[in-house]
Amino acid sequence: MKKFGVVTLMGAPNAGKSTLLNAILGEKLSIVCHKRQTTRTRVAGILTEGNTQTLIVDTPGIFFDTKRKLDKAMVSAAWQATFEAHLIFLIVDVKASYLKEDITKIIAKLESVSDKVVLILNKIDLFKDKSSLLSLTKELSEAFPFKDVFMVSSKKKEGVGRLVSFMKKNMPDGEWMYPEDQLTNLSERFLTAELTREVLLHQLHEEVPYGLTVHTEQWETFDNGDVKIFQMICLERVSHKAIVLGKKGQKIKHIGVLARQEISKALGCRVHLKLHVKVDEKWQDKPDFFHDLGLDPS
| Lowest mean per-residue pLDDT among 29-38, 130-139, 264-273, 289-298 | 29-38
Does the fold of domain 188-293 match that of domain 3-169?
A: no
| Helical pair 100-109 and 131-143, crossing angle rounded to 10 deg | 40
In this prediction, residue 185 carries a pLDDT of: 80
pTM of the model: 0.79
The rounded distance, in Å, linking the Cα atoms of 8 and 90 is: 8
| Lowest mean per-residue pLDDT among 94-98, 206-210, 235-239, 269-273 | 206-210
In this prediction, residue 297 carries a pLDDT of: 61
Structurally, at CATH architecture level, domain 188-293 sits in 2-Layer Sandwich (3.30)
Calculate what percentage of the chain has a pLDDT beyond 90: 44
**From the candidate CATH numbers 3.40.50.410, 3.40.50.300, 3.10.20.90, 3.30.2350.10, the one assigned to the domain spanning 3-169:** 3.40.50.300
Nearest alpha-carbon partner for 258 in 187, 191, 195: 195
Query: DSSP character for 114?
Result: G
In this prediction, residue 233 carries a pLDDT of: 94
- Count the neighbouring beta carbons within 10 Å of the beta carbon of residue 257: 11
Q: What are phi and psi of 14, to 5 degrees?
A: 65, 25
Residue spans of the domains in the chain: they are 3-169, 188-293
